[in-house]
Amino acid sequence: MSLRILVGCKRVIDYAVKVRVKPDKLGVVTDGVKHSMNPFDEIAMEEAMRMKEKKLASEVIAVSCGPQQSQETLRTALAMGADRAIHVKIEPKDYETLQPFHVSKILAKIAVEEKIDLVVLGKQAIDDDCNQTGQMTAGLLDWPQGTFVSKVEKVNNHLSVLREIDGGLETVKVSIPAVLTADLRLNEPRYATLPNIMKAKKKPLAVKSVADYGVDISPRQEVLSVEDPPTREAGQKVESVDDLVQKLKDGGFV
Ligand code: AMP
């Protein structure tokens, strides 16, 4: 069986950017800030590409729900090797209140429409840290899920999935169709090469609206306040171990 894979590619504020809270304290500053593909989605895309290279997958489709600029993220996915992309366009105002439940409903619809065998998402998006979309998508589709995946192998007609759990590693057998969410150690994503970036410009990118999937994206929660974490106090340099011990004693730490 050759799999049809759908990969979620969320556009998020780049991991290296120092995020700033907006003056109204209802969100963070996004204008003029560098954005990139969610790092766990790069890992998800890499895994899909490796399956394609091993001839386990026939087609890899990248999907991003978000504003116009999400197309840049999709072009990166296409440059990594995805065959085509779907941009589900969400107006910036609606995007502010878009939640994993909404995205899951859209992904589940696409999975059925595109006859997908495997949905591969990141374990979490690094902007809102929700860690919900994979689980909800599996629930809506009534498909099995392998979350926090650090290794995946196709064995006969199922997947053997190694999961990172609190107590160590767990291996589960997952039947197909299924939803997987990528953890950090699954692989090291490739960089898009210049020739592939050029090629990606010509690959198909379909633009859809939420209405095309009949999903209601009205907000189900309201952000009351966003705050910076408390600032850490500056450290002190000491000349010697004796000084250090004295300072610790003075501070009542030992
Ligand atoms: P979350 O549940 O928000 O932490 O997101 C988990 C994963 O779901 C991400 O790593 C993406 O693969 C996928 N996902 C979430 N939001 C979107 C989006 N707007 N567009 C595409 N994929 C998304």
The DSSP bridge pattern shows strands 57-66 and 84-89 to be parallel
Which ligand 1 atom sits closest to the C-alpha of 133? 2
148 lines ligand 1 (CB under 6 A): no
Residue range 116-155, pLDDT digits in tens: 999 999 999 999 999 999 999 999 999 999 999 999 999 9
Which ligand 1 atom sits closest to the C-alpha of 98? 19
Average pLDDT over every residue of 180-203: 97
* Cβ contacts of 53 within 8 Å, gap of 6 or more: none
Long-range contacts of 24-28 (CB under 8 A, 24+ apart): 25/225, 25/226, 25/227, 26/223, 26/225, 26/226, 27/96, 27/223, 27/226, 28/226
Average pLDDT over every residue of 98-115: 98
pLDDT of residue 1: 66
pLDDT of residue 232: 87
100 lines ligand 1 (CB under 6 A): yes
pLDDT of residue 182: 98
Give pTM, 2 decimals: 0.92
- Whole-angstrom CA distances from 162 to 145, 146, 156, 209, 253 are 12, 8, 16, 36, 42
CB-based contact 111:139 (threshold 8 Å): no
CB-based contact 88:63 (threshold 8 Å): yes
- Coil, helix or strand for 108? helix
Residue range 30-61, pLDDT digits in tens: 999 999 999 999 999 999 999 999 999 999 99
Rounded (10°) CA dihedral 90, 93, 97, 103 = 0
Q: How far is the CA of 9 from the centre of ligand 1 (A)?
A: 7
Q: How high does pLDDT run on average in the chain?
A: 96
Q: How far is the CA of 121 from the centre of ligand 1 (A)?
A: 7
217 lines ligand 1 (CB under 6 A): no
Q: How far is the CA of 124 from the centre of ligand 1 (A)?
A: 7
Which ligand 1 atom sits closest to the C-alpha of 132? 2
Which ligand 1 atom sits closest to the C-alpha of 135? 2
Q: How far is the CA of 103 from the centre of ligand 1 (A)?
A: 7
